[in-house]
Chains A and B, each alone.
Chain A
Amino acid sequence: MAVIEVEDLRKEYRRLRGGRTVALDGLDLAVPEGGVFGFLGPNGAGKTTTIRCLLGLIRPSGGRARLLGADSRRQLASVLRRVGSIVETPTMYPRFSGRRNLELLARLHRIPHAAIDEILDRVGLSDRAGHLVKTYSLGMKQRLGIAGALLKDPEVLILDEPANGLDPAGIVEVRQLLRRLAAEGRTVFVSSHILSEVQQVADRVAILARGRCVASGPVDEVLSAGRASALVVRLDDLPAGLEALRAAGLPASLDGDAIRVSPPPGDGATITQVLAERGLFLSELRPERIDLETVFLELTKEPE
């Protein structure tokens, strides 16, 4: 069952001097239950707009968004108790303490007081809980936002750039927290532009560009779909190796200080055999590593 379903979602804003800005252009998305779902896209791709539509904060110009089966325009109230969220920078009352902010939220759903202390401890804010939020660093505000999102003990977490403003240690903590939350059976929907983080933590990703989903699925599938896989070959005599591989009918090309064979033969042993027959010996043979960043940049680059 998909906990988040988005169908043909559109959002347009009128410009002051006429015309329209299209923020979402027929977005389709399905987030299955459980695990961490990475929601990626460059600035202005429509990530936050999508999240705002899902949470009923803005009205879509067209299409449909459903959260836990509830239409986000009409039935959201029935499922909000099961959804924790952060939208952009967490927004709390700056002149109240962190604890008071959480108390005000907890009252809305009759959440017991003990849960507040537990959550504050979990996000490492116990020591500063009594201080005014306006004295918090960006990272501390982010932690408070995460605390607010976790306060409902939600089934689904929607986190918009949760690592924003955090130091490296904080980023690692958030990553571990997300994995832990997913391991507890929750669905974590996280938007981020820190691709390496998402790659480490997400089970599935969707990549957004110009208001549309350009790739979606398990991380491995999205990585391999971006470009054809290849084998990287290293040896001392590159020109001789290149000639030998081409002579054997393999699609080899020089790529810096290595030879790239793409698409690779069904069996990597073919390459070692061809080279060995010419008295050439490998120093390295490995599949080309494609990271999410490469795929992301290829999929989201502006059309020329």
Chain B
Amino acid sequence: MTSLIRSEIRRLTSRRLVKALVGLALLAITVTGVLVAVYSRGFERFSILNLPGVLEGTSFLLGAGGWVIGASFAGAEWESGSITTLLTWESRRTRVILTKVAVVAGGMFLIGVFAEALFALVLALVAATRGTTAGADVDLVRAVVTLGLRVAALSGIGAALGFSLAMVSRNTGAAIGIAFAYLAIVEAIMRGLRPGWRPWLLGDSASAFVLAGDPVIGRSVWSAAAVLLVYAGGFILIATTTFRIRDVT
């Protein structure tokens, strides 16, 4: 089992898409830090109290990034056919798929933690040197840390969902397209036609989770987390079942 995990970690970290997205994240953090520093003056000095709001804004990017990486982690296997080669080395399919999803979701969570921590540090540095840290206290630190962890967790859940969809569709593009169509169209329509369903929608639950609860839809952070985990668990279960019974041709 550990050798399979090590092999999958090596594969994840060797992927150009992962390297490119991490590189982009670093670039974005640097550019944002520089811009905030440049425009932080006078009455518009950057206040560290704005940090949670900025980090909340990254949740969509990290969630979507996780989804894309998760989808491509599975899709690339099917598109290149390398899943066939892998199964001639490790035939226990449940073990294979659960290891893969754990590695990609865990990997995206860690990348998310790293990105959020780095972003928070950069902005805290800007606030300390060119803005203001007035009002910063333990509660702010706690809020920033838990928010960063929630955003990172959302990235991991996004990766698990994207991965599972790509394992079923056997295609990266399909997994990304389905996500876009569902979140941007289906859920938007459902929100309009059936407002009572909002607490159960993926997008609303993700939003409530990041914002530590949403009184409008009646979701606490924990109940939102539970809905997201049910979605992720359900998708993983479907992907595992399909992977176990379908022919690999």
Contacts and interface: CB of A to CB of B under 8 A. Distances in A.
Nearest to A110: B3
A56 B91 contact: yes
A125 interface: no
A100 B245 contact: no
Looking at chain B's contact residues, the main secondary structure is: helix
A80 B88 contact: yes
B50 interface: no
Given A52-B249, A92-B82, A57 B87 contact: yes
A256 B15 CA distance: 64
A87 interface: yes
Contacts of B85: 87, 90-92, 105, 145, 148
Interface string B218-249: 00000000000000000000000000010111
Contacts of B84: 57, 87, 91
Interface string A96-131: 100011011101111000000000000000000000
B125 interface: no
A96 B11 CA distance: 9
A77 B92 contact: yes
A109 B2 CA distance: 10
A80 B247 contact: no
Given A100-B14, A103-B10, A110-B3, A55 B88 contact: yes
Interface in B1-16: 3-4, 6-7, 10-11, 14-16
Contacts of A80: 88-91
Contacts of B10: 103-104, 107
A56 B81 CA distance: 15
Given A91-B81, A103-B10, A148-B85, A58 B247 contact: yes
Given A93-B80, A94-B80, A100-B14, A108 B245 contact: no
Contacts of A87: 84-85, 88
Contacts of A77: 90-92
A214 interface: no
Interface size class of A (residues with CB under 8 A): 20 to 34
Given A87-B84, A103-B10, A95 B16 contact: yes
Contacts of B3: 107-110
Contacts, number: 77
Contacts of B248: 52, 57-58
A21 B125 CA distance: 68
A59 interface: yes
A247 B11 CA distance: 78
Contacts of B7: 104-105, 107-108
A94 B88 CA distance: 18
A299 interface: no
A76 interface: yes
B22 interface: no
B49 interface: no
B84 to A, nearest CB: 5
A76 B208 CA distance: 46
A103 B7 CA distance: 8
A105 B89 contact: yes
Given A91-B82, A107-B6, A56 B87 contact: yes
Given A58-B249, A104-B10, A108-B4, A93 B88 contact: no
Nearest to B77: A93
A103 B6 CA distance: 11
A76 B89 contact: no
A85 interface: yes
A93 B82 contact: yes
Contacts of A59: 245, 247
A58 B88 CA distance: 12
A170 B76 CA distance: 29
11 contacts: A55-B87, A58-B247, A59-B247, A91-B82, A93-B82, A95-B76, A96-B14, A103-B10, A105-B7, A108-B86, A110-B3
Interface of A: 52, 55-59, 76-77, 80, 83, 85, 87, 89-96, 100-101, 103-105, 107-110, 145, 148, 152
Q: List the 10 shortest-distance A-B pairs measured between CB atoms, nearest first.
A: A91-B81, A58-B247, A107-B7, A57-B248, A76-B91, A108-B89, A56-B91, A85-B88, A91-B82, A77-B91
Given A90-B85, A108-B3, 19 more contacts: A52-B248, A52-B249, A57-B87, A58-B248, A59-B245, A77-B90, A80-B89, A80-B90, A80-B91, A85-B88, A87-B88, A91-B80, A91-B81, A91-B85, A92-B80, A95-B16, A95-B76, A105-B89, A148-B85
